[in-house]
Structure 1
Amino acid sequence: MSYIFMGILTVTLLITALVLKDKYEFTKTIGALSWIALSLYFIVEFIVIRASTASYNFLKQPMSDLGVTICGIDTYELAAYEICSPAHLAMNWTFTLTGIAVFTGAIFLHRFWPDNMKTKTATVLLVIFGISYSISGIFPADINFLVHTFASLPGMFVQIPALIIIGRAIKSTMPKLSKWTYFCLVLNLLSLLFIFLQPVFPELPGGLIQRVLYGSVWLWMIVTGIVLLNKSVQRK
């Protein structure tokens, strides 16, 4: 029942954000706070890891393992090791709410970017990034591995063109934020490269690399949210 509610909440808030995006000035503040709230993710993850009754390797294991709803070995494809995460519901809610925070911020903060087709495309890509992450919480790996996996794939790539577009769009109006965007983009690209190298170099810390892949985007969003919130306050 909780997972059905997660899905309903995700769809409802996506539609609400799209309806309200240009109607009220306060949505900019909500958007900025949504991105800033992403900083809470790793606090929750740390608590969930501590609650795990099976050994969990932060460096090696994927984040999805923390959302697996059953205990045992071979709980899903590719997991030939023991997993037991009693706080899996909290983790899956965190996955879902993280995605909601991402697409809410993307929609409500669009007005800070130059209004053209390229930045609209970037916003759509970031919305897809958020939806992709929410789905990983709505469909844990052990409940539906295919949906969990294939829905997560866009979240590995769509942020790249989005950050390039936004970095270019704000180069003259917000040069420091533009440089920050490119810095986070480089981190993201490097982590994606290392993910592709994992089959060749299995000793690479896959769990850490995955966290850098997503964390580099969240870090960009957190700092960007702070900067844009400050701009919004100054304009009042």
Structure 2
Amino acid sequence: MSYILMGILTVSMFIAALALKDKCEVTKIIGALSWITLSLYFIVELLVIRASTVPYNFLKQPMSDLGVTICGIDTYELAAYEICSPAHLTMNWTFTLTGIAVFTGAIFLHKFWSDNKKTKTATVLLVIFGVSYSFSGIFPADINFLVHTFASLPGMFVQIPALIIIGWAIRSTMPKLSKWTYFCLMLNLLSLLFIFLQLVFPELPGGLIQRALYASIWLWMVVTGVMLLNKSIKRK
């Protein structure tokens, strides 16, 4: 029932965000706050890790392991080790809400970028990034590994062209934020490179690399959210 509610909430919030995006100025503040709340993710993850009843190695194990709903070995494909995460429901709700925060912020903050086809494309890509992340909570790896995996794949790539477009669009109006965008983009690309290097060097810390991939984007969103929130408040 909880996973059905996650799905309903994700769809409802997506529809609501689309319906409200051009209705009032307060949506800019809501969007900025949505991205700022992403800073809470790793606090929740730390608590879930501490609740694990078997050793969890955040350097090597993927984040998805914390959302696995059963205990044991081979709980899903590629997991030939023991997993037991009693707080899996908390983790899966966190995955879902994180995705909602991402796409809500993307939709509501679009007004800050120059309004053209390219920036609209960037917004769509960030929305896909958010929805992709929500799906990882709605469909835990042990419940539906294929949906969990393939729904999560866009979240590894779509943010790259989105940040390139946004960074270029605001280079003259918000030069500091533009530079910050490209800095976080470089971190993200470096993380993605190391993910591919795992195929050649399996001893690389896959769990840490995966976290770096997402953290580089969340870091961009949190700082961007703070800067745009300050900008919105000053206009008032």
Q: How many residues align?
A: 236
The SS at the match of 1:80 is coil
Partner of 2:97: 97
Residue 89 of structure 1, CA deviation: 0.1
In the TM superposition, residue 199 of structure 1 has moved relative to its aligned partner by 1.4
Q: How does 1:187-226 map to 2 (within 5 A)?
A: 187-226=187-226
CA distance in 2, matches of 1:128, 1:220: 17
Which residue in the other structure is 2:160 paired with? 160
How many Å separate the matches in 2 of 1:25 and 1:167?
23
CA distance in 1, matches of 2:61, 2:110: 35
Aligned pairs for 1:112-151 within 5 A: 112-151=112-151
State the alpha-carbon separation in 2 of the partners of residues 8 and 16 from structure 1.
Answer: 12
Matched with 2:8 is: 8
**After the TM superposition, which parts of structure 1 deviate over 6 Å for at least 4 consecutive aligned residues?**
none
CA distance in 1, matches of 2:100, 2:18: 12
Task: Please say if 1:70 is aligned against 2:62.
Answer: no
Percentage of matched positions with identical amino acids: 86
1:32 equivalent in structure 2: 32
Looking at structure 1, the residues matched to 177 and 61 of structure 2 have their Cα atoms a distance apart, in angstroms, of 33
* TM-score under structure 1 length normalisation: 1.00
Aligned-residue CA RMSD (Å): 0.3
1:43 aligns to 2:38 (yes or no): no
- TM-score, length basis structure 2: 1.00
| 1:7 CA displacement | 0.1
Structure 2 residue identity aligned to 1:14: F
